[in-house]
Structure 1
Amino acid sequence: MDDHLVISPYTSRMVTLRFGQSGKAYYVSCDLLYNQSFITLNDNDYDCGYTEDIGHVLVHFIYTGTYQTLVSTKRYQNTRDQMLAELQIAAEVLFASNAWNLPGLCKLAEIMIHRLCKSIKVLDAVDIIDTVLLNKEKDNSEISRRSKRWLKEFLISSLQEAFDKNDEMFQDIKLFEGLENLELINVLSAALFNMCYSRLQESLEREKQLKKSLAAEKKLREAEAEEAKTEESDSLSLANLILNTSTSDTS
């Protein structure tokens, strides 16, 4: 947030932003929403269409410039489930921040996704993001496509990293069977095919280099054997020459 404002946001009219099914009200200075196209002079109450979890992150960023989520009232069975819930919020915030033209929050959401996925199995992350993309399937706006593109590229990068560490988990033919977003299935399947193809090419190249190395080693051994044979023949010839010379002198 800019430290040097021309107009104090604390002097402008307050507008009500509502989130969630219950229409939870959040009160924000109109001047802090200057770049939001949905704000008009004739209305002070807006239904924003996001859950309260997302709404809090949006409003908190507008006021403070930081990323914060609400403590969930749900009881998670374990830390993994809690992190998956946080990942879903972060992915949805990515879409919301782009829609609200909040590039700073967008970057924070990306950082949060990266951070959470370091402690989450990559296929669990794929499942969560599949759910988010499925909910955005009908939104083909350029703003939405930007978020979708980033998430897909992130997942491809994460899959590559996991594949490089251990490719055994990717040998299951039903790997993406539970996914529902067709576009994501196609993208990840193509990416995984390329990974496997590259791995095969690397294996074939190593095999080729090994055969080349073995052939060179065999050729070297044959040359050394031929050289040793020649030296042995020369030694025998020299010995015979000496023997013949000695015999002639005796005669």
Structure 2
Amino acid sequence: MDPAEKKARDLLKDLYDRTPCMPIMVRLAWHDSGSYSAKDNTGGANATIRYSPESDIDANKGLDIARNLLEPIKEQVASMSYADLYQLSSVAAIEYAGGPKIPFRLGRKDKPKEDCSPDGRLPDATKRMPHLRDIFYRMGFNDKEIVLLSGAHCLGKAHPERSGFEGPWTTEPLKFDNTYFKEILKPDADPNLLRLASDMALLDEEETKKLVEAYAADQDLFFKEYAVAHQKLSELGCQF
């Protein structure tokens, strides 16, 4: 393992031991890389999310918290790009929370402010499958990957000042597992848990519903296939 990566992983573990901020690190990495457009090879995991106007869009509210938490680590691993650190923080967070080990490689390049991604490239939680396909297909994903990546909602909770929604998706929001799929399949929703339109969209069609059922029934399968989808997400727009 590269010495900088090893040091960053150790520092991230220390951070997560002190502050259980794993969910927001996953969100930061997702929102940076999820800006990718395969049509013109713009956006992606390039750390432009730290610049205005990209940092100011509604979908990225609150992510300054994650970026600020990572600054002391960046100072200690100065040779590592922000883009690599943001993605590594997510990979390490998922593993720390009990999730799968996700393959990771260094080499992402930080892009300048001029390359900020426009608004409208991230999913809208109030919309269903046609919208999700528009967003994820643009990144180069398929229906299976939409379901897999949605499973990361097992971590964390929504905050009204950031997204307009409130509450966790699962009863253990600091644990990465397959509970998200089990919850959205229940006919009677737990009033204390979140079920957004974009979550329930996974049940709209037989093909995606079968995937939800498969991952709800087999956590090992979910972990195995999620790790592949997450690595792809973490490398969108990158050349190594």
Shorter-chain TM band: under 0.3
Which one has a larger percent helix, Structure 1 or Structure 2? 1
Which one has a larger percent strand, Structure 1 or Structure 2? 1
TM (norm. structure 1) is 0.27
